[in-house]
Structure 1
Amino acid sequence: MLNKKLLLTLSLSTLLLAGCSTTHYISVTPQADVKGKSLTNERVINVTTSTKLTNSIGFIKTSINERADIFTTNDVKQSVKDSVLAGLRELGFTPEQGVMPAADLQIEITKMSYTTTVETLKTVATLEFELKTTLAAKGQTYKANYGSEKVREYGTMPYQQSVQDDMNSLASQTVNRLLSDPNIIILLK
C-alpha cells in the first residue's frame, strides 16, 4: 500500500515536472478607435500592407514548465489594412474617392511578438507590435514607425482568449497611433 502511494506521488510529480505543451491559435484583428471628424481628402488614398513575418508570434513557457506555441490564424496584413481604412473613414476621409494620382500609404508590419521569461514563481510576458509607414502625398514623402509594448505577469498558462485579447489590444494601440499622427492627417487632407 505504501509503495502504491509512493509510486502514485512520484508519477504525479513527474507529470507535473514534465509540464504540458499546447498551441494557442489567435486572430489578430486591430480595431481603430479614433474620434470622428469631418476631414476630407482631395486624392484617392491607396493603403497597402506588407510583412516579412510568419504566422508564428512566439511561445509561452511558464515557471511550472507549461509551454504553448502561438500562431495567428488570419491574414494580419489584411486585418491591419481593414482597420486603417475603417479609421480613415471614421475621421471623415473617403479613401476610394478623389483625383489621381493617389496618396500612397504603405504599411509594413515589422514586429509582432510574444516572448516570456521565467522569474521564480511567475512568468513575465512581453508583447510587441510595430508598424513602419511611408506616405507619399502632395509631392512629399513622410516616414514613421509606430510601436506598442505590453508586459503581463502570469502564475500559470494564460488562456488562448487572454493571449488573443492582449495581442489585439496592442495592435489596436499601434494602429491608433498611426491614425492620430498629425503629419499623416495633414498629408491626406
Structure 2
Amino acid sequence: MLRTRLLLPLSLTTALLAGCTTTHYIEIEPTTSIKQEQLHNDRAIKVTTSSSLGNHIGAIKTGLNERADIFTTNNVQESINNSIISGLTKMGFTPDQGVYPPAELNVVITKMSYTTKTKNLKTTATLDFQLTSTVKAKGQTYKANFGSQKVEEYGTLPYQETVQKDMNALVSKTVDRLLSDQNIITLLKP
C-alpha cells in the first residue's frame, strides 16, 4: 500500500517533467471595427493581398517543458483581403463599382509570428503581425507599414482557442490601422 502511494505522485511528477508536445491549428479571420461612414469612390478599388510566409507561424515552449507548434489552417491572404474589402464597404466605399482603371490597394503580409521565451516557470509570448501597403491612385503612389505586437505571460501551455483569439485580435488591430490611414482614404476618395 505504501508503495502504491509513493508511485502515484512519482508517476505524476515524471509526466510533468517529461512535458507534452502538441500542435495548435488556428484560423486567421480578422474583423474590422471601423465605424460606418458615408465615404464614396468614383473609381473601382482593386484590393490584393499577398505573402511569402508559410503556414507555420511559431511555437510555444513553457517552463514545464510543454511544447506546441502553431500553424494556420486557412488562406490568410484571402481572409485579410476579405476583411479589408469589408472594412472599405463599412466606410461607404463600393470597391467593385466605379470607372476603370481602378485605384489599387496592394497589401503584403510581411510578418506573422508567435515566439516564446522562458525564465524559470514563467513563459513570455510575443505575437507580431506586420503589413506593407501600396496605394496607386490619382497618378500618385503611397506606401505605408502597419504593425502590431502583443506580449502575454503564462505558466502553462495556452489552449488553441486562446492562441487563435489573440492572433486574430492582433491581425484585426493591424487591419484597422491600415483602414484608418487618412492618406489611403484620401487617395481612394474622388
TM-score (norm 1): 0.96
Deviations 1:69-107 (A, max 9, x none): 100010000000000000000000000000111101100
Deviations 1:86-132 (A, max 9, x none): 00000000000001111011000111100000122211000001001
Aligned-partner residue type, residue 31 of structure 2: Q
Aligned to 1:174: 174
The equivalences for 1:1-189 within 5 A come to 5-189=5-189
Give the Å deviation of 1:3: 5.1
Secondary structure of 2:130's counterpart equals strand
Alignment RMSD: 1.2
Give the Å deviation of 1:11: 3.5
Aligned-partner residue type, residue 18 of structure 1: A
| Structure 1: runs of 5+ lacking an equivalent | none
The 1-side partners of 2:27 and 2:154 are apart by 21
Secondary structure of 1:79's counterpart equals helix
The 1-side partners of 2:25 and 2:100 are apart by 41
Deviations 1:32-88 (A, max 9, x none): 111111101010100001000001010110110000110001000000000000000
Aligned-partner residue type, residue 54 of structure 1: G
Secondary structure of 1:129's counterpart equals strand
Moved more, 124-133 or 5-14: 5-14
TM-score (norm 2): 0.95
Aligned-partner residue type, residue 34 of structure 2: V
Aligned-partner residue type, residue 66 of structure 1: E
The 2-side partners of 1:160 and 1:4 are apart by 35
The 1-side partners of 2:29 and 2:101 are apart by 30
Give the Å deviation of 1:155: 1.2
Secondary structure of 2:179's counterpart equals helix
The 2-side partners of 1:186 and 1:82 are apart by 21
Secondary structure of 1:130's counterpart equals strand
Secondary structure of 1:177's counterpart equals helix
The 2-side partners of 1:67 and 1:50 are apart by 30
The 1-side partners of 2:64 and 2:148 are apart by 28
